[in-house]
Amino acid sequence: MTSRNSKKTICPSCKSESTLRNSRARNTKERIIKAITWFELYRCKKCGWRGWRTNIVLEQRAIKKIIIYTLLMIIAAFVVYNLLKLVV
* Domain spans in the chain, listed from the N-terminal domain onward: 2-87
Can you tell me the mean pLDDT for 13-26? Answer: 91
Residue 7 pLDDT: 53
Task: Calculate ∠ Cα 69-73-79, nearest 5°.
Answer: 140
Residue 79 pLDDT: 96
Q: Are 40 and 25 in contact (CB under 8 A)?
A: no
Report the 10 Å Cβ neighbour count for 9: 14
> Is residue 88 over pLDDT 80?
no
Can you tell me the mean pLDDT for 36-50? Answer: 92
Nearest to 38 by CA among 60, 63, 58: 58
Residue 8 pLDDT: 59
8: left (phi over 0), alpha (psi -120 to 50) or beta: alpha
